[in-house]
Amino acid sequence: MIEAPKVPRTRKSVATKPQVEAADPSTSSLYVQSVEKAMKVLTAFDGSKRQLSLSEISSLTGFDMSATQRFTFTLAALGYLFKDPDSRKYELSPRLLDFTYHYLTSNELVSRATPYLQQLGSETEEATNLTVLDDTDIVFVLRIVSRNVFNAHVITGSRLPAYCTAPGLAILATLPDAEIDNILSRTNLVPYTSSTVYQPRKIKDRIAQIRKQGYAHTEDEYFVSDISTAAAITNAHGRGVGAVNIAVARSRWHADRDEQRFADLVISTASAISTRRRVE
């Protein structure tokens, strides 16, 4: 069972300082704006188009043409952009995958979870995934597919909203209510399908139920015909650092046998990966 993190009580005799809003990091003298601008150029390539012209990059970033030329030239010289000699348009270079490779090979959670997800995939013959929360979304950092995989377009690095996905809900259920409210307030809550639960009150009611039963379950909420069951991987303090889920196509789903079976599997797998709580 997933428990809501407990907030320690403060003694009445001790005055607490009022909360101060975090300062905008971009106002710090340590903040390098040219790095931010270079990242804006790279993130302009969001997958909607394979190639972008200088004018398109300028429009997407809000930079003038002179700045756009300087940044694209530098990024191409460093090997992170490729310029097509015929179309004179830019596209992302394979060198960017170096960052993905280094993240996956150095990430302790990914290393710890890999054998468990492989075993889970072998046992169920369904797609199994490891996801982590990044701001308001979940990101797939490990994906074990099978011959029965429902959606081949979901790959490592894919990003989905937390509020309507089983892994996202499982992780949210381990967070304090105030943090959940903050995440939902910054999320574009929309119905991706007719089955999407997107109303804040209903999402919070759902999270309360997930805390009681120890797992999250969604059907047809982001992808139609996609059914997902997930449990959170927690750290020593009970906070979700990731989630394990099994994704099944509706054509292969048998509600009377599968939900509880898959729930037990993801709960036991997530528990095996989780860091044990410290004994006080």
Are residue 46 and residue 142 in the same domain, yes or no?
no
Of the residues 45, 61, 93, the one at which a domain ends: 93
- Give the confidence band of 14 by pLDDT, cuts at 50, 70, 90: very low
Are residue 88 and residue 112 in the same domain, yes or no?
no
Are residue 204 and residue 228 in the same domain, yes or no?
yes
Indicate yes or no: pTM above 0.75. yes
Q: With 70 as the cut, is the pLDDT of residue 10 above it?
A: no
- The arithmetic mean of pLDDT across residues 50-58, rounded, is 95
pLDDT computed for residue 280 by the predictor: 47
- Give the confidence band of 75 by pLDDT, cuts at 50, 70, 90: very high
- Show the tokens assigned to 131: 């996801």
pLDDT computed for residue 73 by the predictor: 96
pLDDT computed for residue 277 by the predictor: 60
Q: Is residue 175 part of a domain?
A: yes
Q: Which of 44-48, 96-100, 239-243, 271-275 has the lowest mean pLDDT?
A: 44-48
Are residue 221 and residue 245 in the same domain, yes or no?
yes
Average pLDDT of the chain, as a whole number:
89
pLDDT tens sequence across 55-71: 999 999 999 999 999 99
pLDDT tens sequence across 123-173: 999 999 999 999 999 999 999 987 777 677 888 999 999 999 999 999 999
Q: Is residue 3 part of a domain?
A: no
In angstroms, rounded to a whole number, what is the distance separating the alpha carbons of residues 39 and 80?
Answer: 11
Q: Is residue 171 part of a domain?
A: yes
pLDDT computed for residue 5 by the predictor: 46
Q: With 90 as the cut, is the pLDDT of residue 257 above it?
A: no
- Show the tokens assigned to 140: 């797939």
Are residue 57 and residue 158 in the same domain, yes or no?
no
In angstroms, rounded to a whole number, what is the distance separating the alpha carbons of residues 126 and 148?
Answer: 6
Are residue 140 and residue 269 in the same domain, yes or no?
yes
Are residue 139 and residue 83 in the same domain, yes or no?
no
- Show the tokens assigned to 200: 């804040």
Q: Domain containing 63: what range?
A: 27-93
Q: Is residue 188 part of a domain?
A: yes
Q: Is residue 6 part of a domain?
A: no
Q: Is residue 227 part of a domain?
A: yes
- SS3 call for 165: coil
Of the residues 93, 122, 148, the one at which a domain ends: 93
- The arithmetic mean of pLDDT across residues 206-235, rounded, is 96
Residue 94, Cβ density class (10 Å: 0-12 exposed, 13-18 middle, ≥19 buried):
exposed
- The arithmetic mean of pLDDT across residues 226-253, rounded, is 95
Q: With 50 as the cut, is the pLDDT of residue 237 above it?
A: yes
Are residue 156 and residue 34 in the same domain, yes or no?
no
243-259 burial, b for 16+ CB within 10 Å, e for fewer?
bbbbbbbeeebeeeebb
CATH number at residue 87: 1.10.10.10
Of the residues 39, 61, 93, the one at which a domain ends: 93
Are residue 244 and residue 111 in the same domain, yes or no?
yes
Q: Is residue 8 part of a domain?
A: no
- Give the confidence band of 52 by pLDDT, cuts at 50, 70, 90: very high
pLDDT: which is higher, 269 or 18: 269
Residue 44: phi and psi, rounded to 5, are: -65, -25
In angstroms, rounded to a whole number, what is the distance separating the alpha carbons of residues 19 and 243?
Answer: 31
- Give the confidence band of 26 by pLDDT, cuts at 50, 70, 90: confident
How many domains, in total, are found in the chain? 2
Are residue 145 and residue 54 in the same domain, yes or no?
no
Q: Is residue 18 part of a domain?
A: no
Is the separation of the CB atoms in 113 and 142 below 8 Å?
A: yes
pLDDT computed for residue 254 by the predictor: 87
Are residue 181 and residue 62 in the same domain, yes or no?
no
pLDDT tens sequence across 166-211: 999 999 999 999 999 999 999 999 999 999 999 999 999 999 999 9
Are residue 69 and residue 122 in the same domain, yes or no?
no
CATH number at residue 214: 3.30.450.40
pLDDT: which is higher, 6 or 156: 156
